[in-house]
């Protein structure tokens, strides 16, 4: 950058021509001012020195937006000034010939994926805060000279630095300067910003309502996303739409509006049955199949609605991004969503970020602003991340938001005492991972009625580190491990807790509803806050890894989440081949619980297992192992070995992975009392 020129202004005072020298002011620029999400590059933040210069021992401190340090995993990407051949290398230069400037990354670590807080220029100490210091080691920087901080310096072989993986609008850069070497830094006012743009489209997403009515118009949600799930803008391709199954009026082609990355497509089913649709673009290189949609002659009394009940934004110390509700509705095509940032106590009220009382009104107003009953439902919610022995729980409200409470203020039992049964729920998550050890001897069955069995972290169905979806295999954050001291879904059920299953993403990038990170299905009569909440409370739920598999599992006609008793007591067992023993055996078989299963997959359904727990079993075991190898599957059977109170649930696995993860679904249990 050239030395700033002295500006000269002329003006007349009382008829006399006067000349005034206008001092150059310090400036900050960044070049380039944007990056492509997830791409490596080099960005230079240049500071033009103002009056007085910078003396030896002085320094410049620079802090990029948090999003620029968030990696693919739920961790920060390391910055380093130690190895010029490695990624994310930072260098600093001064323009004066007699000046030596050296770069320093404050609180630098050796770990590439970083999960610890560092102090910043804006009073925060959080996971994605990185401050780079350009130290004037020798010489004096004079007025008009520059200090350049180079993020991703490639001069010695580094690949550079990765741009933010989340697409954003312009975000400010923070800069402060110590001019005299005394250790006091003053903020520099400037207008330089960084923008993260989406990459090219690598995937199409296509989703429609799970229940349709013949002859009634409906809408598909179509989105084009880049490698990091950002809506791909621009996207100039023509998308071809096809009917794979069913009888549907559907446009042949559609184009996404300029600058949007998504659109809705009207269509009309003409007759009953299962509908599956397909979207194709870029000479068949981009291809997406819709979820199965069931067409009814009339609107059913209840239907399946899909949502992500657990995701984070920039309001969490470990989250970035905003626009979460728009992403949930328009990109992921969800029916409902709950934003669940970590609640902070009063000690953090002065922080610019974090979900505390200082932003609760703004937070709940955003939830209300995006609520559209019948089209898209938002629930008031937050996360209370308790340490052992209680673990992390999300809090949900039926209607208006209730109290915002933090683990720094209350225990889990105290939180329950502050909530109103029937108007609030708490749902635990990643219980087979951390914190440990968990102890759920204390319970509130009216406020804890559901269980997050799966999320991006991994699976909490049972302790099984070898499972393809176990925490060990998730690659969601730093190395994870399943905990023997955790509480799995099976553990909770065997302890007597009546919990239905859901799944959720636990996304920390403001991108809820990803197709491999978990979704909750609720069966409800309508799409309203109250109906979604009541379905959760009634345990009419199931969870999937993110694919919208239609699943109905019933025991003696009772839906998932039910508690039932046999119509009559079982006859006493009888050994032998006498006619009386034969009659008793026939009566027992007739009374044995009957299973009815209906499943419609997003791909070929490879396996359906029905599991049972009873005290004589000593644990859960598979009593029916079914191999449909079909998109659509119906089956009826019985538990011929039923003798005592039992808990039944179903798990399903599809043939093909999605984004490198197995595709599964887990029903809620049905509890059967023999007596």
Average pLDDT, the chain: 92
Query: Facing residues of 633 across strands?
Result: 599
Q: Please report, for the domain that includes residue 166, its CATH number.
A: 2.60.40.2230
My answer on whether 256 and 346 are in the same domain is: no
My answer on whether 595 and 510 are in the same domain is: no
Domain for residue 126, yes or no?
Answer: yes
Rounded Cα gap, residues 44 and 161, in angstroms: 11
My answer on whether 244 and 336 are in the same domain is: no
Phi/psi region, residue 2 (left: phi>0; alpha: psi -120 to 50; beta: rest), is beta
My answer on whether 305 and 366 are in the same domain is: yes
Domain for residue 310, yes or no?
Answer: yes
The per-residue pLDDT for 234 is 93
Residue 1 pLDDT greater than 70, yes or no: no
Helices H / strands E in the chain, number of each: 6, 49
The per-residue pLDDT for 514 is 97
Kindly give the residue spans of alpha helices, DSSP state H, lying in 488-644.
Answer: 489-494, 529-537, 579-591
Domain for residue 11, yes or no?
Answer: no
Domain that includes residue 383, residue range: 301-548
Q: What average pLDDT does this structure show over 497-524? A: 98
* SS3 per-residue string spanning 541-579: EEEECCCCCEEEEEECCECCCCEEECCCCCCCCCCCCCH
Which of 298, 321, 353 corresponds to the end of one domain?
298
Residue 553 has a CB neighbour count (10 Å cut-off) of 26
Query: For the stretch 608-642, what's the b/e string if a residue is b when 16 or more beta carbons lie within 10 angstroms of its beta carbon?
Result: bbbbbbbeebeebeebbebebeebbbeeeebbeeb
The per-residue pLDDT for 105 is 97
Cis peptide before 437 (omega within 30 of 0): yes
pLDDT per residue over 382-401, tens digit each?
Answer: 999 999 999 999 999 999 99
My answer on whether 515 and 423 are in the same domain is: yes
My answer on whether 442 and 359 are in the same domain is: yes
Q: How many domains does the chain have?
A: 4
Domain for residue 150, yes or no?
Answer: yes
Q: What average pLDDT does this structure show over 554-575? A: 87
The per-residue pLDDT for 12 is 36
My answer on whether 462 and 509 are in the same domain is: yes
pTM for the model stands at 0.93
**Banded model confidence at residue 10, pLDDT cuts 50, 70, 90:** very low
Residue 561 pLDDT greater than 60, yes or no: yes
Q: Please report, for the domain that includes residue 244, its CATH number.
A: 2.60.40.3450
Which of 496, 514, 548 corresponds to the end of one domain?
548
The per-residue pLDDT for 24 is 52
My answer on whether 129 and 91 are in the same domain is: yes
**Banded model confidence at residue 9, pLDDT cuts 50, 70, 90:** very low
Q: What average pLDDT does this structure show over 343-372? A: 82
**Banded model confidence at residue 36, pLDDT cuts 50, 70, 90:** very high
My answer on whether 276 and 326 are in the same domain is: no
Q: What average pLDDT does this structure show over 522-540? A: 98
The per-residue pLDDT for 352 is 53
pLDDT per residue over 576-604, tens digit each?
Answer: 777 777 777 777 777 889 999 999 999 99
The per-residue pLDDT for 125 is 86
Domain for residue 190, yes or no?
Answer: yes
The per-residue pLDDT for 492 is 97
Domain for residue 505, yes or no?
Answer: yes
Rounded Cα gap, residues 527 and 547, in angstroms: 20
Q: Please report, for the domain that includes residue 639, its CATH number.
A: 2.60.40
The per-residue pLDDT for 4 is 34
Query: What is the maximum alpha-carbon separation in the chain?
Result: 129
Q: What average pLDDT does this structure show over 138-149? A: 95
The per-residue pLDDT for 586 is 76
My answer on whether 306 and 283 are in the same domain is: no
* CA torsion through residues 476, 479, 484, 486, sign: negative
Q: Which of 118-122, 306-310, 471-475 has the highest mean pLDDT?
A: 306-310
- Asked if 315 contacts 532 with a C-beta cutoff of 8 angstroms, the reply is no
My answer on whether 247 and 128 are in the same domain is: no
pLDDT per residue over 300-333, tens digit each?
Answer: 999 999 999 999 999 998 999 999 999 999 999 9
Which of 548, 571, 605 corresponds to the end of one domain?
548
My answer on whether 169 and 279 are in the same domain is: no
Residue 353 pLDDT greater than 70, yes or no: no
């Amino acid at each position: 950058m050239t030395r700033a020129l002295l500006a000269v202004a002329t003006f007349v005072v009382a008829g006399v021509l006067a000349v005034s020298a206008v001092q150059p002011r310090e400036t900050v620029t960044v070049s380039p001012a944007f990056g492509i999400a997830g791409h490596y590059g080099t960005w230079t933040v240049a500071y033009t020195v103002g009056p007085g210069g910078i003396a030896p021992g002085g320094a410049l401190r620079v802090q990029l937006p948090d999003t620029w340090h968030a990696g693919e995993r739920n961790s920060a990407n390391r910055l380093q000034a130690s190895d010029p051949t490695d990624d994310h290398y930072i260098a600093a230069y001064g323009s004066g010939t007699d000046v030596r400037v050296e770069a320093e990354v404050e609180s630098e670590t050796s770990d590439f994926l970083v999960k610890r807080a560092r102090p910043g220029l804006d009073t925060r100490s959080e996971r994605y805060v990185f401050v780079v210091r350009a130290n004037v080691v020798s010489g004096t920087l004079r007025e008009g000279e520059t200090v350049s901080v180079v993020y991703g310096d490639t001069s010695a072989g580094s690949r550079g630095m990765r741009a933010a993986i989340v697409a954003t609008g312009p975000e400010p850069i923070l800069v402060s300067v110590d001019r005299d070497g005394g250790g006091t830094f003053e903020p520099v006012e400037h207008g330089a910003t960084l923008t993260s743009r989406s990459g090219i489209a690598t995937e199409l997403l296509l989703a429609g309502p799970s229940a349709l009515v013949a002859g009634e118009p409906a809408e598909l949600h179509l989105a084009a996303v880049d490698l990091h799930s950002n809506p791909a803008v621009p996207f100039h391709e023509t998308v071809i739409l096809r009917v794979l199954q069913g009888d549907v009026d559907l446009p042949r082609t559609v184009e996404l509006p300029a600058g949007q990355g998504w659109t809705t497509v009207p269509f009309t089913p003409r007759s009953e049955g299962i509908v599956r649709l397909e979207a194709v673009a870029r000479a068949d290189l981009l291809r997406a199949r819709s979820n199965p949609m069931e067409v009814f002659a009339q609107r059913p009394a209840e239907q399946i609605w899909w949502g992500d009940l657990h995701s984070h934004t920039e309001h969490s110390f470990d989250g970035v991004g905003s626009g979460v509700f728009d992403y949930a509705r328009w990109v992921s095509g969800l029916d409902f969503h709950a934003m669940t940032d970590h609640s902070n106590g009063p000690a953090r009220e002065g922080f610019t970020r974090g979900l505390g009382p200082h932003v609760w009104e703004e937070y709940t107003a955003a939830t209300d602003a995006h609520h559209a009953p019948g089209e898209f439902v938002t629930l008031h919610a937050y996360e209370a991340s308790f340490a052992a022995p209680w673990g992390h729980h999300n809090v949900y409200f039926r209607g208006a938001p209730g109290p915002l409470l933090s683990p720094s203020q209350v225990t889990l039992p105290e939180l329950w005492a502050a909530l109103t049964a029937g108007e609030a729920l708490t749902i635990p998550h990643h219980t087979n991972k951390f914190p440990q050890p968990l102890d759920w001897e204390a319970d509130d069955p009216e406020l804890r009625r559901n269980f997050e069995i799966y999320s991006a972290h991994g699976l909490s169905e049972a302790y099984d580190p070898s499972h393809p979806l176990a925490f060990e295999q998730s690659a969601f954050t730093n190395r994870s491990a399943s905990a023997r001291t955790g509480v799995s879904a099976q553990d909770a059920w065997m302890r007597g807790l009546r919990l239905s299953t859901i799944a959720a993403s636990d996304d920390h990038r403001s991108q809820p509803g990803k197709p491999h990170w978990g979704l909750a299905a609720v069966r409800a009569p309508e799409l309203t806050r109250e109906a979604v909440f009541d379905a959760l409370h009634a345990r009419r739920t199931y969870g999937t890894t993110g694919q919208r598999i239609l699943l109905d599992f019933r025991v003696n006609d009772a839906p998932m989440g039910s508690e039932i008793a046999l119509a009559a007591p079982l006859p006493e067992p009888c050994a032998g081949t006498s006619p009386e023993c034969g009659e008793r055996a026939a009566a027992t078989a007739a009374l044995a619980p009957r299973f009815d299963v209906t499943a419609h997959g997003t791909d070929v359904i490879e396996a359906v297992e029905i599991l049972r727990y009873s005290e004589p079993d000593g644990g859960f075991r598979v009593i029916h192992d079914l191999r449909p190898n079909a998109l659509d599957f119906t089956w009826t059977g019985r538990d011929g070995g039923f003798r005592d109170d039992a808990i039944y649930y179903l798990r399903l696995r599809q043939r093909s992975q999605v984004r490198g993860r197995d595709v599964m679904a887990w029903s809620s249990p049905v509890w059967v009392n023999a007596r």
